[in-house]
Structure 1
């Protein structure tokens, strides 16, 4: 089913369909009417010689420099070429595709002055799988994501590089192979393509979708650890969560209880110990708080995905052209910093559970879950790796949004650093997934030592899924491969205990 874009109703689930399942997209008919009316305003201002930022003037500090009518096309072409100076490793194909989708959706709102054929080419690139090669570094997150979006725009004009059918090609050649033609930019169009927050938002959306899945998976892995350590289930009973009425906390507790229902390994208060350490007992409080952050981030992404973030904005009903600051990425910068902090805590508390699984002074299991403690080190060093990743996350979680460096001769004197915040959040998620993979390996090994037949039915399913990737540990081996393989497998949405339990 084709997903229609009108600039107002794009959802995260639709983005997942377009990115993961290559669902085709098209511009809704009512949106085309708005796009065309907006373009008429641009053409009228050019013909009348009116002073309009970025149309008949230069950019940034050059906003007071007038541009003659015969130079308006060269102005847009020069803009794209000069601003395409991002550096670093390219963003993933998924993020590049998301950027195309988000930019097309923003332009479909009808406030950007883009021509129909230019917007249609963006849609055609999505549907043909032409993904611009976009270096990941170089955006300040205000005046939009100028540098990364300029690399996207290069492909629209038949320049730069793209990935098409698995090959890295010249942009013009990829368009030719797909039966498409590049665009010759006219007034306002270069600016319309690059003045927006689609790089930080695309990175943020893909990071959020991974974080949402990881947080749910963390509940399941924590439940398996609870059994491996013969944890006390009383801390998850509903009474205590009703008197601190955070719904997310209560829902996590409910999920844990559901996952361990029927277990022969968990204990009740006073059977083995009165209470567990915080990393077990406070799972609902910590994981629940993480869910609160995810809800906040989701809300902000949904707004940003369906916003007009250009400058200037064109209001066809009134004929007004307003220079403002919707390109400023502060809302997403805050959200991405918050996301990074929250996901860092998934790893932080997971690492503490890993320590309790492998440390013989904290449990009644063989030291480091080794089959021959002393001769074989078992899973000792996996905890070191988890600790290293957690420590790295602490550095990455330092908020980017508190930083600002003036640019364009101090005309653009406060910026958001939102794209850096989004990139760091994505890195934290990748690190945290590996920490959770280590916990899953340790928890599965503990369950095998205890007797996997004693697991609850749902955690037994998770145990089996882990074992499908990581065989039982009978002797020391290169665990790096196990961690990486399981981390990759954990990216898949099917790798959860029970998605029907998601209620937040």
Structure 2
């Protein structure tokens, strides 16, 4: 069991993955506790002074000019949480909610939010007890941060709201705390606002998506190599000197992967000097590194944005070390929304070019002597014909999802919040695009392997041999049609998981 220690300097992407998807425990470092205590002392002094300060002694949003008497300020914080927990729809996945809670702890621990250490520790206790608040999918506009989703988390701290049970059922927050041996807390001035005013939901989803995209872009190089090998393509467009003259780093990485994956193939050797072989392969084959490489460069941009956000204090107002409490706009999710939209566009195109290779593999006029739809008995059997239909439908959906959410601002809060980021929507749909990409690469994996099997007795590359053996375990060899959906699901698991990649890297060395 690993433990993630939250420091005043924040956490790492690996920490987020360990808590969200693993079983890592969380603890607050003593320096984080000290930072929060020092920040809280400033808020306590403001309370004693009676000065009107936003979020401490005033209402919120367009009610910022409404003064709240000291005896009602705890009530104000509780009312804020209850009123902002207004989401609707299906619950967000456990991993997203856990990432969001860890990132809110991270922001509080930086000592600029004016909360007692007790508040952050209470969120830590929820994570360590595996209590996952029920956070509906709709409600956040990405400014002021992820208000509604974070409020649904905070409400559980009060012994209210809903919790996502391990069975998938919804139970009362009070019952969930009782089962976990935890107790509700009472909020003090500023603390309710600090619990909801952040970009933690969209940042959590972006960080998880970045990890998924990095793996899938490497798997896209693998499935492209299998298709190229099966279609008697050329390896020459992937020579390093051809990519050095157009120095996009992602392109060079993708080309190097594909070139290495194609080495040692008797299939490739069989046509290397054949004058009848096409001088230039189709774009979906020859330009695979240009598309997947551009996606890698887009991913690098998203990594940089997420890394900066991990080092950021995202709250409003913030308590500065000299005691000043200042309003900011740091809760606006535009940086994350833009990055998520950009990455969704890139991932959609990686899937689109993969589907074009599948279509080519299945077309007897373009597949270089492979049987129609990769069926040795086409006519009675349809082979992978309808698998390509599925892929085409997914490509069409990804094109719709690639339309940016971050340009779709709507004003709220009596025009006080007159421009919002839609970063929550952007990161939610990015996750869907990547899930769809997994399916598209699964179909290409099946088609590429089937094409390689149909080139027998010619033997494939070592990478092709490993991939063919892995797929054959659940898909068999070319023959009569079978119920295809379970086969595609098994291929999805192979693409999403690490076993196939690990086996290939054990043979060839690490892929980038």
Shorter-chain TM band: over 0.9
Instruction: Work out the CA distance in 2 between the residues paired with 1:371 and 1:172.
Output: 61
For residues 279-317 of structure 1, the C-alpha deviation after alignment (integer angstroms, 9 at most, x for no partner) is 1101111111110011111111122123211100011x2
Which residue is equivalent to 1:137? 138
Which residue is equivalent to 1:379? 384
The answer to whether residue 420 in structure 2 is matched with residue 415 in structure 1 is: yes
For residues 111-149 of structure 1, the C-alpha deviation after alignment (integer angstroms, 9 at most, x for no partner) is 111111111011111112111110111111011111111
Which residue is equivalent to 1:344? 348
User: Normalization by structure 1: what TM-score?
Assistant: 0.96
Deviation at 1:15, TM superposition (A): 1.8
Question: Is the Cα–Cα contact under 8 Å of residues 96 and 134 in structure 1 kept in the other structure?
Answer: yes
Deviating more after overlay: 223-232 vs 8-17: 8-17
1:306 aligned residue (303, 311, 315): 311
Question: Is the Cα–Cα contact under 8 Å of residues 7 and 307 in structure 1 kept in the other structure?
Answer: no
SS in 1 for 2:104: helix
Instruction: Work out the CA distance in 1 between the residues paired with 2:36 and 2:476.
Output: 57
Deviation at 1:199, TM superposition (A): 1.1
1:498 aligned residue (484, 502, 505): 505
Task: Give the unaligned 5+ runs of structure 2.
Answer: none
Which residue is equivalent to 1:195? 197
Deviation at 1:21, TM superposition (A): 2.3
SS in 2 for 1:51: coil
Instruction: Work out the CA distance in 1 between the residues paired with 2:441 and 2:302.
Output: 22
Question: Is the Cα–Cα contact under 8 Å of residues 400 and 420 in structure 1 kept in the other structure?
Answer: yes
Which residue is equivalent to 2:184? 182
- Count the aligned residue pairs: 502
Deviation at 1:481, TM superposition (A): 2.1
For residues 153-208 of structure 1, the C-alpha deviation after alignment (integer angstroms, 9 at most, x for no partner) is 11111111213544643212222222211111111111111000011111212222
Question: Is the Cα–Cα contact under 8 Å of residues 163 and 172 in structure 2 kept in the other structure?
Answer: yes
Deviation at 1:462, TM superposition (A): 2.1
Question: Is the Cα–Cα contact under 8 Å of residues 449 and 464 in structure 2 kept in the other structure?
Answer: no
Which residue is equivalent to 2:112? 111
For residues 370-413 of structure 1, the C-alpha deviation after alignment (integer angstroms, 9 at most, x for no partner) is 12111111111111111111011111110111111111000111
Instruction: Work out the CA distance in 1 between the residues paired with 2:457 and 2:118.
Output: 61
Instruction: Work out the CA distance in 2 between the residues paired with 1:205 and 1:176.
Output: 32
Which residue is equivalent to 1:71? 72
Deviation at 1:257, TM superposition (A): 1.6
Is the alpha carbon distance of 1:136 and 1:292 closer, same or farther for their aligned partners in structure 2, counting shifts above 3 Å? same
SS in 2 for 1:25: strand
1:37-436 matched pairs, under 5 angstroms:
37-166=38-167, 168=169, 169-266=171-268, 267-268=271-272, 271=275, 272-315=277-320, 317-363=321-367, 364-436=369-441
Instruction: Work out the CA distance in 2 between the residues paired with 1:388 and 1:193.
Output: 41
Question: Is the Cα–Cα contact under 8 Å of residues 269 and 275 in structure 1 kept in the other structure?
Answer: no
Deviating more after overlay: 325-334 vs 4-13: 4-13
Task: Give the unaligned 5+ runs of structure 1.
Answer: none
Is the alpha carbon distance of 1:114 and 1:465 closer, same or farther for their aligned partners in structure 2, counting shifts above 3 Å? farther
Question: Is the Cα–Cα contact under 8 Å of residues 7 and 306 in structure 1 kept in the other structure?
Answer: no
Instruction: Work out the CA distance in 2 between the residues paired with 1:75 and 1:380.
Output: 61
The alignment's C-alpha RMSD in Å is 1.6
Question: Is the Cα–Cα contact under 8 Å of residues 125 and 131 in structure 1 kept in the other structure?
Answer: yes
For residues 206-259 of structure 1, the C-alpha deviation after alignment (integer angstroms, 9 at most, x for no partner) is 222211111111111111111111110110111111111122211111111211
Which residue is equivalent to 2:469? 464
Question: Is the Cα–Cα contact under 8 Å of residues 441 and 495 in structure 2 kept in the other structure?
Answer: no
Which residue is equivalent to 2:5? 4
Instruction: Work out the CA distance in 2 between the residues paired with 1:129 and 1:469.
Output: 35
Instruction: Work out the CA distance in 1 between the residues paired with 2:147 and 2:121.
Output: 21
Deviation at 1:269, TM superposition (A): 7.0
For residues 80-122 of structure 1, the C-alpha deviation after alignment (integer angstroms, 9 at most, x for no partner) is 1111111111110111111111111111111111111111011
SS in 2 for 1:152: helix
